[in-house]
Amino acid sequence: MKTKLLNKWHVLVGGFFGYMFDAMDITLLAVSLPAIMKDMDMTMSQGGLLGTATLLGVGLSSVIVGWFSDNHGRRTSLIWSLIIFGILTAAISLSPNWIVLLMLRFTAGLALGGVWGIIAAYIAESWPAKQRGRAAAFVLSSFPAGAGIAAFLSSLIIPEFGWRALFLTGAGSIFAALYIFFFVPESEVWKNQKEDRIAKGDISNISIKEIFAPNLFKRTILATLLSSFAFVAYWGSTTWIPTFLVQVRRLDIKTMSLFFLILNIGMFVGYNLFGWLSDNIGRKKAIILSFIGTTITLPIYVMVEDPMMILLMGPFYAFFISFVGLFGSYFGELFPTRIRTLGAGFCFNAGRGISAFSPFVLGFIATKYGLTVGIGICAVFFFFSAITMLFLPNTKIE
């Protein structure tokens, strides 16, 4: 019993730092994009394609890494995902041109996307249902923590050493991989399920077709649609907010980084409060409340012009972006152990993959109508997410 209790805390710590570097890696591009575009003389559309390439890789990884995790274990999959995207992110510092940078973002995304699904499965298999919402929300609140660290590092590194030096910090994910290697055991639930299958003579590999079986088809499609709407809005806005603050609101790089850091503090608080809320009122109600909040606050955030109001509205808007953390417990509970990483990871990351063209499309819209209009449109997709959530089940909390 004592070992089991200790293991769940190791999963919590290892998952937190693993996903923190996942978030940091993705955010490094957003906070450095104004400097990259200037240095490489990029258009808005080219800058948006860098975000698109990352998310396309993320979408594909949901199938590749999810399949590997359900067949060969959570631990090995997580370790290698962290090592691979850390190395590829650091390699961006050597990019000679936009094409190489584009390719590195895509290949890093192939490893990045698998991290969320593995951690969601780990939490679902290590923590009791009555604490699972809070545990998942805490671990996944490492995303705004990682994003905040990326913003802070950009304010220190870019002005002094340039954007290339900033990407070297992405290799820090290797330290998270080492923690998991030494302290985080394989999921007992996964091991028992694997042994049970072998004892029954079932040695077949898990297939993606299983998440589209008749009893799961509807929830797989709806959860993927939900994720798609949510991430079209989230990545479309998040990719361009730093550029919006610099080009439209005329903040310098250091001030923009500070504003973005404070915005992510609001998100960190929201993740954890909404995690507690989901354990008390249910996952479904908490997720819908999160979407209603983002639908209302995002247009207000991009409309205010006074720097102090921008500073205050940032964390208030970000407080409601808690759906990302809530998905961790909710999606994991939608699928059985056998296909948990594949199912949860597919819905989450296929949505991220489908949203891949959001940064590019918003870059195109921004060229014609401005970033204020482009980012404001994202609120409509947050509203679509709330509507879609109405058609999904509320998972049982025991």
Structural domain boundaries in the chain? 2-193+208-389
Residue-wise pLDDT tens digits, 45-54? 788 788 788 8
150 and 264 in contact (C-beta within 8 Å)?
Answer: no
Per-residue model confidence (pLDDT) at position 2: 47
- At a CB cut-off of 8 Å and minimum separation 6, what does 78 contact? 14, 18, 69, 114, 115, 118, 119, 122, 177, 180, 184
Q: Phi and psi for 214 in degrees, rounded to 5?
A: -50, -40
**Cα distance between residue 341 and residue 253, in whole Å:** 38
**Position 381 confidence tier, pLDDT thresholds 50, 70, 90:** very high
DSSP per position, 297-345: HHHHHHH--SHHHHHHHHHHHHHTTTHHHHHHHHHHHHS-GGGHHHHHH
Structure tokens at 247: 């080009």
Structure tokens at 389: 């959530």
109 and 353 in contact (C-beta within 8 Å)?
Answer: no
Q: Per DSSP, which regions of 25-128 are E strands? A: none
Residue-wise pLDDT tens digits, 94-118? 999 999 999 999 999 888 877 877 8
Residue-wise pLDDT tens digits, 345-373? 788 877 877 877 777 787 778 778 888 88
**122, amino acid identity:** Y
3-state class of 187 per DSSP?
coil
> The CATH number of 2-193+208-389 is which of 3.40.50.12780, 3.30.465.10, 1.20.1250.20, 3.40.30.10?
1.20.1250.20
Residue 119 has pLDDT above 70, yes or no: yes
Q: Please compute, for residue 9, the number of CA atoms within 13 A of its CA located in the half-sphere on the CB side.
A: 6
DSSP per position, 42-57: --HHHHHHHHHHHHHH
Residue 398 has pLDDT above 50, yes or no: no
Residue % of the chain over a pLDDT of 90: 35
Q: 44-72 and 217-247 helices cross at what angle (nearest 10)?
A: 140
Distance of CA 216 to the CA centre of its chain: 24
